[in-house]
Amino acid sequence: MIGYIIRRLLYAIPILIGVNLLTFTLFFFVNSPDDMARIHLGGKRVTPEAIVKWKDDHGYNKPLLYNSGRPGTGKITDTIFYRYSVRLFVFDFGSSDQGRDIRNDISQRMWPSLAIALPVFLVGILVHITFAMLLAFFRGSYLDTSGVVLCVIMMSISSLFYVIGGQYLISMLLRLVPISGYDLGFEAVKFLILPIIVGVVGGIGASTRLYRTFFLEEINKDYVRTARAKGLSELRVLFRHVLKNAMIPILTGVVVVIPLLFTGSLILESFFAIPGLGSYTIDAIHSQDFAIVRAMVFLGSVLYITGLILTDITYTLVDPRVRLE
């Protein structure tokens, strides 16, 4: 298995280079270094000299991908792409175009992101699996039918509705928790309750339906019938046998997102004023801060690849038939 993991890690290098190249191309297709300079220098009284100076200082005065004016390897290395990409592979994110240290920003902002994403993830799994099992248990009944209909309705509603509706109902009408904000330490709890509820409730529709399908698929298999024939109660069958086997597709689906919990949720963080990483990238896109954009895309790619590798490993743990070679 170690050989497999090493091979996967080596495969990740060309993937990361490709992702970097794609990000770079897309970003500079939309924004030229002159545009970036204008945005950073402000909307008023920006002179051509100031733009040239800003580009010089931030290394955007070089060709994008190929420097025909330089000899040898300089044709590749003396370019914006090389300058901004190579350091990423040692996780040196450098400074944002505004001058802030990106690694420092990320290390500060990942904790608020995790403070929401982790409980949403864990409570979400618990709640969604519970509901799915409940529907599977009462399969074919009115409870199941109405549950499925409710799930379809819930998954058809925009996540923004849950956010705004949750804020209006719980914070404005019932006045139970603050509408938005964040604090450090234990004080953070009162700010996290609402986004966590919204995050979990918002995911009930889609996840419950999916997990219900997994359970129903297992519930009609021979080994379940055998278990019932042994005289086990339905609850025991469900928890001991069905749950265990249905967890294989569930786990492989959720493990891949675990590393991405660090990158946070854009909508939740934005509406609840949580200073996490979710809004960091989108803010950088708005302010045309390429340094942050490429760092966050790179980080996202690394985490996603990590998630995929973890998923593969999880397969071997939950299903003894699978061997990584």
Partner 1 sequence: MKRPGATRYALLAISLIFSAGAAASWNNPYPAAEAKSNILYSAFRERPKTFDPARAYSSNEYLFIAQIYEPPFQYHYLKRPYALTPLTAVSVPTPVYFDKHGRRLPHNTPAAAIAYSVYEIHIRPGIYYQPHPAFARDADGRYLYHALSTHDLAGIYAIGDFPRTGTRELAAADYVYQIKRLAHPKLHSPILSVMNEYIVGLRDYADTLKKEYEKIAGGRDTGVFLNLAKFPLAGVEEVDRYTYRVKLHGKYPQLLYWMAMPFFAPMPPEADRFFSQPGMAEKNLTLDWFPVGSGAYMLTVNNPNRQMVLERNPNYHEELYPAEGEPEDGAAGLLDDAGKPMPFIDKVVFSLDKESIPRWNKFLQGYYDRSAVLTEGFDQAIRFTGEGDTEVSDTMKQKGINLRTSVAASTYYLGFNMLDPVVGGNTERGRKLRQAISIAIDFEEQISIFENGRGIAAQGPLAPGIFGYREGQAGINPYVYDWVDGKPRRKPLEYARQLLVEAGYRGGVDPASGKPLSINYETPAIGPERKAQLDWMLKQFSKLGIQLVVRATDYNRFQEKIRKGDAQIYDWGWNADYPDPENFLFLLYGPNKKVGHDGENASNYDNPEFNRLFERMKNMENTPERAEIIHRMLEIARRDSPWIWGMHPKNFLLEHSWMYNAKLNQMANNTLKYSRLDPDKRAERRVAWNRPVVWPIVAVLGVLVVGAVPAVVTYRRREREGAV
**Close Cβ partners of 18 (under 8 Å, ≥ 6 residues apart):** none
Interaction between residue 67 and partner 1 (CB under 8 A)? no
- Shortest Cβ distance from residue 67 to partner 1 (Å)? 19
Helix intervals (H) in 86-188:
102-137, 142-156, 159-166
A 10 A CB-CB count for 172 gives: 9
Of 165, 283, 317, 323, which one interacts with partner 1 (CB under 8 A)?
A: 283
- As given in the structure block, the two tokens for residue 272 are 């609840």
Of 81, 93, 271, 290, which one interacts with partner 1 (CB under 8 A)?
A: 271
Q: What are phi and psi of 258, to 5 degrees?
A: -55, -50
- Shortest Cβ distance from residue 166 to partner 1 (Å)? 11
Q: What are phi and psi of 182, to 5 degrees?
A: -160, 150
Interaction between residue 38 and partner 1 (CB under 8 A)? yes
Q: How far is Cα 108 from Cα 275, in angstroms, rounded to an integer?
A: 9
Residue with smaller CB distance to partner 1, 114 or 273: 273
Of 64, 123, 150, 179, which one interacts with partner 1 (CB under 8 A)?
A: 179
Q: How far is Cα 193 from Cα 196, in angstroms, rounded to an integer?
A: 5
Q: How far is Cα 169 from Cα 150, in angstroms, rounded to an integer?
A: 20
Residue with smaller CB distance to partner 1, 237 or 256: 237
Interaction between residue 35 and partner 1 (CB under 8 A)? yes
Point out which residues bind partner 1 (CB under 8 A): 30-32, 35, 38-42, 44-50, 53-54, 57, 95, 98-101, 104-105, 108-109, 112, 134, 137-138, 141, 143, 164, 167-168, 171-182, 187, 190-191, 228, 233-235, 270-273, 275, 279, 283, 287-288
